[in-house]
Amino acid sequence: MMEALTETYGNPSGAHRLAREANRRVDAARASLAESFGITPGNIVFTSGGTEADSMAIHGSLRRLADRGTPGVAVCSAVEHHAVLEPVEFTGGRVVAVDANGVLDLDHLGVVLAELNEKQVPVAVVSIMAANNETGVIQPVIEASRIVRELAPDALIHSDAVQFSAWRDTSDIAAAVDLMSVSAHKIGGPKGIGFLAVGTGVTLPAIQMGGGQERGRRGGTHNVPGIVAMAAAAQVMVAERSETVERVENLRDRLINDVLAGAAGAFVTGAGADRLPNIAHFCLPGIESEPLLFMLEKNDVMASAASSCSSGAQQVSHVLAAMGITGSDAPGALRLSLGRDSTKDDVDAAARSVVEVVDRIRSRG
């Protein structure tokens, strides 16, 4: 990344030597990323991150049908990241339910697609995330894609693999869907860079136009330092993945056990589902997330709620609401995420801190 910032700083769209050198770096990064994610280099469309990739997938798919004179709707799961959910809802799309573990309800997906079929409403895109960012719950993307291919064969299938891609191989998902979003800062790379993988033969109209970069699929000067850094981060991630996953999962389980043992009434959200190894998401009945997070931060524990908070001071999480964790019983939500550098001391300190803060809040009544 430093080399791209200081030496190969040409604009890869230009014609002179510095530009050509920058272009070579982008091409090499594209090839390396394709290998890391089990896709084809030409399928990668670089974006400013996961949000833009998601937006491009939803709006681009809608434009694709509108351009053919048969406008359609977008469909997504109720637990998508806002980067998917908001464009789907904004454009009048349909949302598919999840069960109490936060796993996509495949029967409901079938019902929604059948209803749209009956009303002769074309489906532009169905978007099912690979893993949820609040709970870590993994979604049945491949099973969902079979249902979509059967009931809405003209629809594109998109999967937001922003969280999933750091921890599990994306090849099978990439092969099953038409569009897949990835963001560098979830795999150890810098913020502000990502890509949308657009399947071979899939034509997705550009949303960001001008410049003609990325074969006309996304205009704008390439973020060369970000692109090369994302490729380097992905190489490290893939090389170390199996060791990292095992180590982080053990630490995550240790953290969960200690919190459950020390904080009465606490439960793990989505505990019955297959989950990513790095997220420990708890609900803590009777505890409001805001003071909890504030007091944890004083102990140097940087957590998030993502957030089902009965005080109303924080927005209620649409993910927890979709799982049926709502209403006056809404417990405090706490998401503790681990990274590849997390240690046993980190998780022990975090667990001690959570238990101590919960005790303190409860004793204040």
- Any idea which residues carry the catalytic annotation? 309
Tokens found for residue 98? 């999840």
Q: Which is nearer to ligand PLP, 50 or 199 (CB)?
A: 50
Separation in Å, CA 175 to CA 36, 141, 157, 203, 205: 14, 11, 11, 16, 21
Residue closer to ligand PLP by CB (options 50, 277) is 50
Q: How far is the CB of 327 from ligand PLP (least distance, A)?
A: 26
> Cα(150)–Cα(146) distance, rounded to whole angstroms?
6
Q: Which two tokens stand for residue 85?
A: 């959910």
Does 50 participate in binding ligand PLP (rule CB under 6 A)?
yes
- Region of 47-55, 70-78, 219-227, 231-239 interacting with ligand PLP (CB under 6 A): 47-55
The span of 44-52, 89-97, 206-214, 267-275 binding ligand PLP (CB under 6 A) equals: 44-52
Q: How far is the CB of 181 from ligand PLP (least distance, A)?
A: 7
179: left (phi over 0), alpha (psi -120 to 50) or beta: beta
Alpha-carbon distance 193 to 140, whole Å? 27
**For 315, phi and psi rounded to 5 degrees?**
-70, 140
Binding mask 183-202 for ligand PLP (x = CB under 6 A): x-x--------x--------
The b-or-e profile of 156-187 (16+ CB within 10 A means b, else e) is: bbbbbbbbbbbbbebeebbebbbbbbbbbbbb
Closest residue to ligand PLP in the complex (CB): 50
Judged by CB under 6 A, which of 78, 79, 83, 98 binds ligand PLP? 83
* CB nearer to ligand PLP: pick between 52 and 288: 52
Pick the stretch among 49-57, 171-179, 205-213, 248-256 that binds ligand PLP (CB under 6 A).
49-57
In the complex, the smallest distance separating the C-beta of residue 185 from ligand PLP, rounded to whole angstroms, is 6
From the list 12, 49, 93, 277, which residue makes contact with ligand PLP (rule: CB under 6 A)?
Answer: 49
Closer CB to ligand PLP, 49 or 332, in the complex? 49
Does 129 sit near ligand PLP (CB under 6 A)? yes
Residue 23 contacts ligand PLP per CB under 6 A: no
C-alpha distances in Å from residue 42, one per residue of 122, 184, 202, 267, 361 = 28, 18, 12, 45, 54
- Pattern 148-167, binding to ligand PLP, x per CB under 6 A? ------------x-xx----
Contacts 24+ apart (CB under 8 A), 206-214: 206/60, 207/55, 207/56, 207/59, 207/60, 207/63, 208/52, 208/56, 211/13, 213/13, 214/45, 214/46
Considering the complex, what minimum distance in angstroms separates the CB of residue 195 from ligand PLP? 10
Which of 81, 281 has the CB closer to ligand PLP? Answer: 81
Cα(131)–Cα(163) distance, rounded to whole angstroms? 6
Token reading at 241:
């993945």
The residues binding ligand PLP (CB under 6 A) are 49-51, 54, 81, 83, 129, 133, 160, 162-163, 183, 185, 194
